[in-house]
A and B are shown apart, each in its own frame.
Chain A
Amino acid sequence: MLAFSVFGATPVDFLTFVIAAAIVLAGAFGVVFSRNPVHSALSLVMTLFGVAVLFVEQHADFLAAVQVIVYAGAIVVLFLFVIMLLGVDREENVDVEPLGPVQRWAGLLIPLVGLFLLLFLAGVRDWATGTPSARGAASGSAAGGAPNVDLLGRSLFTGFLLPFEVTAVLLVIAVVGAVVLARRPPRAEQAEMLAEQRALDEQLAKERDAELVAEHLEGRS
């Protein structure tokens, strides 16, 4: 027992939280503000780690592990793969199709307002008003010393059995989807496809021009 507490927590816990939160936020800002997508992806990893720390801090050990392995290990790598594959690992050219001031400021303002509204609604501290322990303890100590993994696994195979089964369907879809999307068309079709694509592009361009002209005329009339 330490002699003092900060906001009802031990200094260690508090410090852990502060540092993790800083990492999380820094990573998040990194994602948003990096010109280069690769940097964004790396910043994302940072955030994910920070979140994992916060998971641990809240007795979600298994989830923290999964967070690091699945998120940081698989998902972000997938992102990096795609970035490399497409060759878009360059800085964004902000002059092409600029955002416009409305989007920029509204994009900032609206989420901020939303945040404040949410905080107001929660009254900052009235968050969890629900009935505690409806299903079973989350932490080991409260649940009679069972490890977090046990609790989670038990819950998955009893109360959440069907959702768990449904995730299988999700993964099948992901596989099939990935195959469908990423599959290169047969060679025979490829030339034709390119020609068609070109024709399509041309037609789309033409349509766009016609639309522009029409809009122009409409605007004038």
Chain B
Amino acid sequence: MIAQATSPLGPLVHPNVEYSNLGPILALVVGALVLLTVASLVPGRRGRGFYSILTILAAGVSLGWSAWLWHFIDQKGPRFAFANVVAVDGFAVFFFVVIAIAVVLTALLAEGYLRRERLDGPEFYVLILLSAAGGMLMAAANDLILVFLGLETLTISLFVLAGFHRRRAASGEAAMKYFVMSAFSSAFLLYGIALVYGATGTTNLAGIAQYLSRNLPTSTGVLMAGVVLLIVGFGFKVAAVPFHTWTPDVYQGAPTPTTAFMAGASKAAGFAAFLRVFFSTFGALRLDWRPIIWVLAILSLLVGAVLAVVQRDIKRMLAYSSIAHAGYILIGLQAGNERGISGALFYLLAYTFMIIGSFAIATVVGRKGDRAHSLDDYRGLAARRPLLALTFTVLLLAQAGAPFTSGFFAKFYVIAAAVEAHSYAIALIGMLVAVITAFFYLRVVIFMYSSPEGDEGEVAPRLPVPVSAGIALVATVAFTVVAGVLPGIFVDFARHATLIF
């Protein structure tokens, strides 16, 4: 008070703090803290199932709050909060929902996994919750600094999660690679932020946009360098070629539920920032960044698809396929129109379910030790676990874009956006790459439905499906099919998840 009184800077004006605007994030953070507290209070190994339930509860609160926010925004319109560093708009809420869903699914998945691998403890859930909170921050951030902090919150948790399986060497390696690469790319991102800051005088997204709308920059060199470096940072996060190199190794090495979360939430958060920053903030520079995104999208599509073809490890294959998926979402961004954004959003929603569902299968089939991920481990799955095989088939076909699955409409939507923007070439390439991707998805299906080779005498090891993982699978498949047959509401959701500016 004294300082305030004597300060030459005048009275300290507190920003308008409305935590209700960030309810979904707070729910997760509070959930994490409660979890930590409870876990330290409950002695021994009791109440482990409780952790996942608490996590889901927290995510549930987050979802509910998001719904309220959605309604609120619908009524009162979008707004800035916390001294303009946060944008509370439909776009952010959309990602709150996607990420919260990813948390729920991952928690369901992790429950059985951690028990099986005897890794159980509250930390996994705590980190997931905090990481998700970081992801949501990225989605809501209206300041590059907050984007950066959210990204680091998300990523640093993921380092730990990737290395969570102490007994797996691959897990450690994945964590380390992810760490080094992530730090490297963060440096670029940060440098990009610095350059943008230098060129525009602010790190606030709305401020930058304002600046760009007022001054057509005379010398855009530094600004463009900054923009390019931002692309590198976000490209790394969403695993776009050529910034994808960490993806296969990390996805393969990390514990499978972590991989699921990474592929779902982390990529979604990355795209949230990517889309917001580029579509909204740098919208004026559209002509400059669209060609770059064009190239990145095509490279991602091709490299992801072509490399997935030669994989024999399911997790690795899914990793490459997720790179191709990133390519599709980039098509939406590249289109640079309203439909492109809502297409990308719809794609992300559908993709999150598909990819987490797929990794859920990998989690279950991976068996104790999280090791059985070879294509051969899927041979004859249909005979042993017909429903599991069917589930995976649906998810794979959805990823391939089979009709009447969410995957079809996802692809359709972004391709439509590209066509609307007259980017015929990329639309066509996107569709042709779908042919390549279909090949390796179908190969897995073939393996599942072929009879096991030779060793009939040897009884195939039991393949228990934990109840929680089962629920996750049912949920993902249900969404995949429902969104494929009745995409209307989800398309609505994506369309109304508009950016604040």
Contacts and interface: CB of A to CB of B under 8 A. Distances in A.
Do A and B contact each other directly (Cβ–Cβ < 8 Å)?
A: yes
Contacts of B217: 129
B9 A177 contact: no
Contacts of B483: none
Contacts of A181: 160, 163
Given A166-B137, A177-B160, A118 B85 contact: no
Contacts of B164: 180
A211 to B, nearest CB: 10
A180 B33 CA distance: 16
Interface string B1-24: 001000111001111010000100
Contacts of B202: 130-131, 134-135
Contacts of B106: none
Interface in A129-164: 129-132, 134-136, 143-146, 150-151, 154, 157-163
Interface SS of chain A: helix, strand, loop or mixed?
Answer: helix
B216 to A, nearest CB: 11
Interface string B105-119: 000000000000010
A170 B155 CA distance: 10
Contact of B83 (A158, A170, A200): A158
B391 to A, nearest CB: 28
A129 B85 CA distance: 22
The secondary structure that dominates the B interface is helix
B85 A163 contact: yes
Given A134-B202, A135-B202, A177 B146 contact: no
B127 A176 contact: yes
Given A131-B201, A173-B153, A126 B7 contact: no
B34 to A, nearest CB: 13
A69 interface: no
A178 to B, nearest CB: 9
A174 B126 CA distance: 12
A150 B3 contact: yes
Interface in B153-192: 153, 156-157, 159-160, 163-164, 166-170
B120 interface: no
A106 interface: no
A179 interface: yes
B85 A121 contact: no
B223 A129 contact: yes
A193 B201 contact: no
A93 interface: no
Interface string B132-149: 011001000001011001
Nearest to A201: B169
A160 B15 CA distance: 9
A88 interface: no
B211 A130 contact: yes
A166 B15 contact: no
Interface of B: 3, 7-9, 12-15, 17, 22, 29, 32-33, 36, 82-86, 118, 121, 123, 126-127, 130-131, 133-134, 137, 143, 145-146, 149-150, 152-153, 156-157, 159-160, 163-164, 166-170, 197-202, 207, 211, 215, 217-219, 221-225, 369, 371
